[in-house]
Chains A and B, each alone.
Chain A
Amino acid sequence: DAKTTQPTSMDCAEGRAANLPCNHSTISGNEYVYWYRQIHSQGPQYIIHGLKNNETNEMASLIITEDRKSSTLILPHATLRDTAVYYCIVRHYTDKLIFGTGTRLQVFP
């Protein structure tokens, strides 16, 4: 079973920041937090990952709380092409990804 809890769906206006929350209260010390997204009918796409520090790349920022029990993925300026299902995953060294049902983000004009 997935170790994360995410809202089923969210809306965001184009050009605004999209903040996608994720709860992972049972995360262990050596598990990373990963985010993937899946645009309709495509394979999932890696976005970002982190262990305990906040991370930023060209796609997004990942904010992990100090107790590591929750995190937020931030898309700073959402576009229509960011409409997708976003998956938050905690992952052990075995490299296995366990997907939940994710958050369906709808970006509207």
Chain B
Amino acid sequence: ETGVTQSPTHLIKTRGQQVTLRCSSQSGHNTVSWYQQALGQGPQFIFQYYREEENGRGNFPPRFSGLQFPNYSSELNVNALELDDSALYLCASSPGLAGSYEQYFGPGTRLTVT
């Protein structure tokens, strides 16, 4: 069974650019959530996708957007990058929405905005 994978591992972008981060969910999982983790902080919820539809969003501006594909993989897009967007971006998948399901996290993508 393959776990959650994310690409790329590291990324350096310039302020104002756009970035796309990718996540492959664990086999059989139809729910993907994205989190942003700034240095020294806990992960912050960005949004969640369930069966290709957005299902909940945290306190992030519209320039953070996402997609989920029929195979349940997902993308996180960030437009007009700002210096404060520098963080570890984590993707997590789960087999459903019910509260008793645990989430499985990928290793993250480290984004640096200069």
Contact = CB atoms under 8 A, between A and B. Distances in A.
A41 to B, nearest CB: 8
Contacts of B42: 2, 85, 87, 99-102
B56 interface: yes
A97 B43 contact: yes
A42 B37 CA distance: 11
Contacts of A43: 4, 90, 92, 105-108
Contacts, number: 70
A87 to B, nearest CB: 6
A46 B99 contact: no
B40 to A, nearest CB: 8
Given A95-B33, A95-B94, A96-B48, A44 B43 contact: yes
Nearest to A89: B42
Provide the main secondary structure of the chain A interface: loop
Interface string A51-83: 100000000000000000000000000000000
Contacts of A91: 99
B99 A42 contact: no
Interface string B83-110: 0000000101010111111111111100
B44 A99 contact: yes
B56 A97 contact: no
Contacts of B56: 94-96
Interface string B39-66: 0011111001000000110100000000
B31 interface: yes
A74 to B, nearest CB: 18
23 contacts: A32-B99, A34-B102, A42-B107, A42-B108, A43-B4, A43-B107, A44-B90, A44-B92, A44-B105, A45-B105, A46-B102, A51-B100, A87-B42, A93-B97, A94-B56, A94-B97, A95-B48, A95-B101, A96-B33, A96-B58, A99-B42, A101-B42, A102-B42
- Of all A-B residue pairs in the complex, the 3 with the closest CB atoms, nearest first, are A99-B42, A43-B105, A93-B99
